[in-house]
């Protein structure tokens, strides 16, 4: 487990917001694409899968692979482990390849992923200051003491009105 600030704030992201932010990410990535476009997208599972799908759709990238890195159990972090690698025949050293994740926090996940594909372009939708240097392109920054809640971890539920009957 690593020392980290407690999460004092929550940043709740709806599907709609995620879609808009992932499209904004795709727009930026379009601006820095190699001349003949990105060769492939590698999603960091599981959180990178929905953003990677949206980016691949916007940029018409048909080759999509995954790398699976496990480090968090709820909000507790341990040393990241690669438990599934992408097809190295496709991604090679990462040249022309986009790596997509939902967020960077401490940057430890991306450190491990970058070792696999050193020349890849790393993109996340959200970022926190500690991991900022591990990302080439991202859209929205939140403070280090904020926990981001994604739509796949939430459900709509009834709330009591402020003033009861
Ligand atoms: O920058 P770091 O401190 O390494 O944290 C960022 C990673 O943590 C979360 O994944 P998690 O390990 O919770 O797995 P999941 O994507 O399967 O939910 C998130 O999706 C990033 O991949
Ligand atoms: N959902 C979620 N997963 C994370 N993994 C590391 N930081 C975060 C975060 O802020 N939110
Ligand atoms: Mg993840």
Per DSSP, the residues of 64-126 read EEEEEEEEEETTEEEEEEEEE---HHHHTT-TTEEEEEEEESSSHHHHHHHHH-TTSEEEEEE
Q: Tell me, what's the ipTM?
A: 0.99
| Three-class DSSP category at 11 | strand
**pLDDT tens digits, one per residue of 3-20:** 455 788 999 999 999 999
Q: With respect to residue 1, please indicate whether it lies within any of the assigned structural domains.
A: no
Cα of 11 vs centre of ligand 1, distance in Å, is 15
Give me the mean pLDDT over the 50-54 stretch.
Answer: 98
Note down the domain range covering 21: 10-153
Return the residue matching tokens 């003491």.
Answer: 145
Q: With respect to residue 161, please indicate whether it lies within any of the assigned structural domains.
A: no
Give me the mean pLDDT over the 114-127 stretch.
Answer: 97
Give me the mean pLDDT over the 32-45 stretch.
Answer: 97
Share of the chain above pLDDT 70, in %: 96
* Whether residue 93 lies in the annotated active site: no
* Whether residue 102 lies in the annotated active site: yes
At residue 1, does pLDDT exceed 50? Answer: no
pLDDT at 4 (0 to 100): 53
Return the residue matching tokens 């991604």.
Answer: 91
Instruction: Please report, for the domain that includes residue 80, its CATH number.
Output: 3.40.50.2020
Q: With respect to residue 141, please indicate whether it lies within any of the assigned structural domains.
A: yes
Give me the mean pLDDT over the 34-52 stretch.
Answer: 97
Better pLDDT: 145 or 79:
145
Q: With respect to residue 95, please indicate whether it lies within any of the assigned structural domains.
A: yes
pLDDT at 145 (0 to 100): 96
Give me the mean pLDDT over the 139-150 stretch.
Answer: 97
**Total of domains in the chain:** 1
Is there a binding annotation on residue 37?
Answer: no
At residue 119, does pLDDT exceed 50? Answer: yes
pLDDT at 78 (0 to 100): 81
Q: Measuring from each residue's beta carbon to the nearest atom of ligand 2, which residues come in under 6 Å?
A: 72, 103, 105, 147-148, 150
């Amino acid at each position: 487990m690593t020392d980290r600030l407690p999460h004092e704030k929550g940043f709740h992201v709806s599907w709609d917001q995620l879609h808009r932010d992932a499209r904004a990410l795709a727009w930026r990535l379009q601006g820095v694409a190699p001349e003949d476009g990105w060769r492939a997208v590698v999603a960091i599972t599981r959180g990178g899968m929905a953003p990677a799908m949206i980016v691949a759709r916007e940029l018409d990238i048909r080759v999509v692979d995954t790398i699976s890195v496990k480090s968090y159990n709820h909000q507790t972090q341990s040393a990241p482990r690669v438990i599934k690698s992408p097809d190295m025949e496709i991604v090679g050293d990462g040249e022309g390849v986009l790596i997509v994740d939902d967020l960077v926090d401490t940057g430890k996940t991306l450190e491990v992923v970058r070792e696999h594909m050193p020349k890849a372009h790393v993109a996340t939708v959200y970022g926190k200051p500690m991991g900022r240097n591990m990302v080439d392109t991202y859209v929205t920054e939140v403070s280090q003491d904020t926990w981001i809640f994604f739509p796949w971890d939430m459900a709509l539920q009834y709330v009591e009105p402020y003033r009861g009957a």
